[in-house]
Amino acid sequence: MANKIVSVVTGGAGFLGSHLCDKLLSENHKVVCIDNLITGDVANISHLLGNENFKFIKHDITEYIFIEGKVDNILHFASPASPIDYLKLPIQTLKVGSLGTHKALGLAKAKMAKFLLASTSEVYGDPLIHPQTEEYWGNVNPIGFRGVYDEAKRFAEALTMAYHRFHGVETRIVRIFNTYGPRMRVEDGRAIPAFMSQALRGEDVTVFGDGSQTRSVCYMDDLIDGIYRLLCSNEINPVNIGNPDEVTMLQLAQEIIGITGSKSKIVFQELPEDDPKIRQPNITRAQQILNWEPKVNRREGLIKTLDYFKKKIFPGK
């Protein structure tokens, strides 16, 4: 065991963090999962708790992080990630993006470990170019409601690059586009969990605005594969990981109603402030550098996700 690669995952009990823990264990890593469970859930990692190569530490990473022994990789995924969470937890979101990133980078520097930052397509804000390339600097409202998340991630990217340039820390930055799959929270507030839970319960399906705004949704297996490839690569600059298959919110709602066989009707509500009108990754860099592109089509991914939501909403059935 002493020769195993040791990887620390902050936010490891969250939706993406827990799948990342699974992936790293499958690649023969020893995994230390850190989470304060503010939006994470022990249920996401309960299947790992008996694994001798897995350790869970309940801890707020805005405080000093202590890990005994060697650490090879730190994958920083801690943060509220859905609008419902960061609107409810604005200060915590800013703190984990700033102080939490600082503490995680400090650990990477002390352990001479590789550091991978989970950034987001939200750094592009409501984009003025389409699709979004990594060279685009974004169009973000720093004082809007969503600014607490967008600017926390933009600051985290700047701090990561500063630690790379000034301290020589080996860093990676992944810009994650909309992702979905099992272990998303039913009350997550993002489109797919909302549409699925409403359709399964036979409730009206709520679409914001006129539903013409677009997203590009990526199944979590594809995303985790891309992140692992980036970790193993030599690429220092940010890399978009997402599925370029763009869909309107209205079309997505209709697809989910169809897959569930629900009789739900679609109702429209006012578009939230600063909600991006378009979102689509340019994944040329990921294709060229990581030899990565998504493989799971949307219908296949939605069906897999639906099975999970059925069990969560109707346990015992």
Angle at 17 between CA 127 and CA 195, to 5 degrees: 60
Q: Is 45 helix (H, G, I), strand (E, B) or coil?
A: coil
Quote the DSSP letter at residue 237: S
Scanning the structure block, which residue is given the tokens 């869970």? 56
DSSP three-state, residue 224: helix
d(CA 180, CA 173): 20
**Angle, CA 117 vertex, CA 93 and CA 170 arms, to 5°:** 140
Separation CA 97–CA 237 (nearest Å): 19
Beta strands 114-120 and 171-176 are: parallel
Report the run of H or E that residue 21 belongs to, with start and end: helix 15-26
Buried b (16+ CB within 10 A) or exposed e, 158-193: ebbbebbeeeebebbbbbbbbbbbbbbbeebebbbb
- Stated as kind and residue range, the H or E segment containing 287 is helix 284-290
Active site residues: 149
- Strand 214-216 and strand 246-248: pairing? antiparallel
The size of the chain, in residues, is 317
Q: DSSP states of 127-180 as a string? A: -SSSSBPTT---B--TTSTTHHHHHHHHHHHHHHHHHHHHH---EEEEEE--EE
